[in-house]
Structure 1
């Protein structure tokens, strides 16, 4: 039993005893709650009446237990009803946004403008006092609370990479909501549940105290407090018992939900995962990985991917902005191309455009990206629809994201996430074959004890192991083009070296695979890349073989980047003056001109054309001969 599970024992036992006593009230040897013994009114505790008798001579213990049935039924019933309705509204509004958000979350928030007690009084006044009108009133009252919590959590989760991956694989939106997003937003909903139950019990007791809740002779704790108010001088304990029952029940439920939050969240459990997920480890039949063909259709050194004049645009109603302008680069089979540049230069969105995963506000504004498939046919990635991209992702083109912690679903086991990538592209096979394939993939990327790690959650792996698991998902279907978006940025130097070695091993094992490696680390470029494309402010300013560019850069920005790398014998660091211009304030000419020591007036007039110092080199600088 894990530590988190042991913490459930005390609140779980308390709630279990309260619920058991209330549910077993009909079979317990209790006095009739309606039987009055007026001559013995206000009698103290005795063998026949353990907690004494009330103002009408009725047994206090019997009314306390039976009163709990009404109070708890109303509180829990309204909390559950509000949870189902509010969570559904929040999930739909947060995931689909737009008009769906207006008709779900925003419409529900109108209720928040009304004071809670006055709203409950209004509903009860219209429908009359009683149990069911009170449940309806409290359900209406608390639905917006659940909707807002679910909506806020959904907005955070839907932007993460593992949800994007689900959508990219064509998973039905309702399945994404139920299987992926709901488990991740469940912990805050449980906290909300405890708050709602407590608040509902207080409001029910208050309305019953005012005579607008539970109708006599049905007992409730609010009615008992109301009756004891007039007898405080004679029998003060009549007020103590229902108050203790109300406070104790609220405290027990709050404590239970607080502990349950830790148990149900697999990110805080390291022994076997969350309780509600432990029964989902059974294997199921699933298709095996489809076979892949050798790249025998390639002729010569024809590019695997050839990007020509690619522009990526921000769709802004006020003004359209090109975040990437006329970028051109190519990668051949078996070649590693590095995309290098400062943050904000357009490296990542260029990679995302190759797999059709640009954010909603961005779109391809021009140019072409010709990719040659396994069968030898060519397709323009810049013109594909979502369905067409879905057929290429993972099977032909795959991507390793920068943050593995955000790219992996925190409530799904590693093995299941790898298997999901395999199943997304069809085929036939048995569950055991799929399991063996998953284990083989984890072993291939260097994860120790892969049989055991298939059952681990992402939080149970180290940063380097999470990145390896992300790579296993990316190569699950043997893609011909792999795009790695700064996969070593958040890792320490030792783990960085291991991940780089892993990429080299993958290239050796699949020599026909092309690799686009997005990075800002020139040391990584020198170690892993064959060719390099240097990007600045959304433009490719220089491209060529790594050795040649490092030996003799032909663009001032490339030269400045190389000079800014610290060296052991340097007395001081060399910095590039100024900052990268904002998309709205791009210079009309060369975008690097405001920071360039070699700039001349003509550099600021018009964008420089592409120059070719050698057939393998390209630069966007009119003074490239003077750079080095």
Structure 2
């Protein structure tokens, strides 16, 4: 967060300071009347003159600022806090909270703001005690809608899912991750509400429905001066000038604050801090098979009926092993990884199978149980670090957030841990880099920072979803080497989701090739890459860049969508070796030899078919 521009800060501070200091400035009594000096011009004793009752205009301006600004600040702040809370809850939690927040505000919006204020004040009577709740109600829908719209635009970003992966609860995500990203629009709305509150208070006081006389108010002063403006026009000028300058200063201040909370505005920034360190408990140590997925089937309801983008998937991973899940986009790789983390979208559900992480069936855990696992025993690195990292927080703060989600450390110990993690993932000058924002780092550095967040609590299982996407070849090799080194240092198992077979050759021990939601080939990585038994695997190999520089062979067609799967072998429409028998029935996943399995009825015939091996 940058330092706001000093001019609007100083202007608002002067107005507020003068209003607060009114009792200590030695001003005349704002209600004391001197009928003999009605509408007297400015003088040494009365710098701005006297009004229609002989009261000191300067004193009434200062005391009137106290009334106008206190009503505006109280009503705008109350509307901001309540509206932001309702918008956050409605946008992030959805369902009942969304219905209550939006439909309730629709009812309020049915009434024009001024008419609503007039109605309530007329029924309950004028006065400050009535004005504050009335103006709060008037401004509430604006804050709810701004916060709700902001949540909808932010909650789909990967860095929100990353916080869920870390095991953070809903309240923590809303306050620590989402709220800072929507603070700018809320501040703008606050500026508008505060300025509008000053105007509405003045308007209601002008009509005799606001601050009650003889208490001073800018609206009362304007109303009284209207009848005497022909004889004493300055009496109308002073409160109008004070009102206009105050509104301009408030808008300028909030615009400056809006710019200050945007990390892209300036090169040197400090993060704004909200609630922090709401840590769930540590997960007890467990032993056994690291990851076992058995017959996993995921279903999604659609207007045309349910679809199954992942069907009958079984995978096993041991400690210090790397399992590569390979396939084109739409094969179900990422959805399988999200299922392991318990992060399936609301429309998706597991209808069959089980997922065991260290002897715990995560499909049977509630959200609290999943949060204890995420970020501590299992972690996930997403494919796009620029969207996965929170843009308004320093890199170091985001790593510290991962630590604090599962353990309590002192500030000094946390900083030492953050610097050590950045150093471990190969980021130079880690003490300085931890104060950088995500957009200030290169793509490779951002991915290293994401890996540091993933390993912050020494997880036993790491899921890396396309970790080298959009990186050049040199940086890809560095990231893969880093993952391989960390795997051995921590003794953790890693699931590598990728579409690149060269990546598999670099790092994987086991490989599972997925196509259209199901596994079509599975086995030892070296064996599968050297002797593919399924035409799809062979086609992926041919489509990889060749060592001799020749053009790769593309795979004709596209992956079929889950609602339009072809009969028989799903790859048959794109396969150069397909026969009528391939389209007759869905082939099972059969064991060929030494744990090498394939879903091709002609695998034994195709073993001798030559294919260009693009991967060593």
Whether 1:23 aligns to 2:10 is no
Whether 1:534 aligns to 2:531 is no
Which SS does the other structure have where 2:24 is aligned?
coil
- 8 Å contact 2:520–2:599 — kept in the other structure? yes
- The Cα shift of 1:461 comes to 4.1
Work out which of the residue numbers 84, 89, 94 in structure 1 matches 2:91: 94
Whether 1:224 aligns to 2:221 is yes
Give the Cα–Cα distance (whole angstroms) in 2 for the partners of residues 223 and 519 of structure 1: 70
- The Cα shift of 1:502 comes to 0.8
Give the Cα–Cα distance (whole angstroms) in 2 for the partners of residues 429 and 187 of structure 1: 31
Work out which of the residue numbers 465, 471, 474 in structure 2 matches 1:485: 465
- The Cα shift of 1:141 comes to 0.6
What CA deviation, in whole Å up to 9, does each residue of 1:2-48 have, x standing for no partner? Answer: 9x42x431111111111111122222243333344555544443333
Q: Which residue of 2 aligns with 1:255?
A: 252
Whether 1:442 aligns to 2:428 is no
- Distance change (3 Å), C-alpha of 1:473 and 1:597: same
Work out which of the residue numbers 208, 211, 222 in structure 2 matches 1:211: 208
User: 1:5-44 to 2 correspondence within 5 Å?
Assistant: 5=3, 7-38=4-35, 40-44=37-41
Q: Which residue of 1 aligns with 2:447?
A: 467
RMSD: 3.5
Give the Cα–Cα distance (whole angstroms) in 2 for the partners of residues 66 and 108 of structure 1: 35
- 8 Å contact 2:168–2:371 — kept in the other structure? no
Q: Which residue of 2 aligns with 1:400?
A: 381
Whether 1:111 aligns to 2:108 is yes
- 8 Å contact 1:315–1:363 — kept in the other structure? no
Equivalenced residue count is: 607
Q: Which residue of 2 aligns with 1:590?
A: 569
Give the Cα–Cα distance (whole angstroms) in 2 for the partners of residues 356 and 287 of structure 1: 17
- The Cα shift of 1:545 comes to 3.8
Q: Which residue of 2 aligns with 1:339?
A: 325
Work out which of the residue numbers 479, 486, 490 in structure 2 matches 1:499: 479
Give the Cα–Cα distance (whole angstroms) in 2 for the partners of residues 615 and 177 of structure 1: 50
Give the Cα–Cα distance (whole angstroms) in 2 for the partners of residues 412 and 38 of structure 1: 62
User: 1:155-304 to 2 correspondence within 5 Å?
Assistant: 155-164=152-161, 166-167=163-164, 171=168, 173-265=170-262, 268=265, 270-271=267-268, 273-274=270-271, 304=290
Work out which of the residue numbers 289, 297, 303 in structure 2 matches 1:311: 297
- Distance change (3 Å), C-alpha of 1:172 and 1:393: closer
Whether 1:130 aligns to 2:127 is yes
Which SS does the other structure have where 2:118 is aligned?
helix
Give the Cα–Cα distance (whole angstroms) in 2 for the partners of residues 213 and 304 of structure 1: 68
Structure 2, gaps ≥5 residues long: 611-616
- Distance change (3 Å), C-alpha of 1:551 and 1:14: same
Give the Cα–Cα distance (whole angstroms) in 2 for the partners of residues 244 and 478 of structure 1: 62
What CA deviation, in whole Å up to 9, does each residue of 1:126-151 have, x standing for no partner? Answer: 11122222222111111121122222
Work out which of the residue numbers 585, 602, 612 in structure 2 matches 1:606: 585
Q: Which residue of 2 aligns with 1:557?
A: 536
- 8 Å contact 2:282–2:372 — kept in the other structure? no
Give the Cα–Cα distance (whole angstroms) in 2 for the partners of residues 433 and 501 of structure 1: 28
Give the Cα–Cα distance (whole angstroms) in 2 for the partners of residues 478 and 142 of structure 1: 47
- 8 Å contact 1:263–1:275 — kept in the other structure? no
What CA deviation, in whole Å up to 9, does each residue of 1:323-365 have, x standing for no partner? Answer: 1011233334433222122222111111122232222322222
Which SS does the other structure have where 2:379 is aligned?
strand
Which SS does the other structure have where 2:566 is aligned?
coil
Q: Which residue of 2 aligns with 1:320?
A: 306
- Distance change (3 Å), C-alpha of 1:229 and 1:492: farther
- 8 Å contact 1:369–1:380 — kept in the other structure? yes
Q: Which residue of 2 aligns with 1:143?
A: 140
What CA deviation, in whole Å up to 9, does each residue of 1:265-303 have, x standing for no partner? Answer: 5565654613657x99xxx9x99999989xxx88xxxx7
Give the Cα–Cα distance (whole angstroms) in 2 for the partners of residues 28 and 394 of structure 1: 58
- Distance change (3 Å), C-alpha of 1:422 and 1:43: closer
Work out which of the residue numbers 546, 565, 575 in structure 1 matches 2:554: 575
Which SS does the other structure have where 1:26 is aligned?
helix
What CA deviation, in whole Å up to 9, does each residue of 1:73-120 have, x standing for no partner? Answer: 221111112122222222222332211222234313320121111111
- 8 Å contact 2:280–2:372 — kept in the other structure? no
- 8 Å contact 2:282–2:376 — kept in the other structure? no
Which SS does the other structure have where 1:212 is aligned?
coil
Comparing 146-155 with 77-86, greater Cα deviation is found at 146-155
Normalised to the residue count of structure 1, the TM-score between the two structures is 0.85
Whether 1:516 aligns to 2:495 is yes
- 8 Å contact 2:165–2:341 — kept in the other structure? no
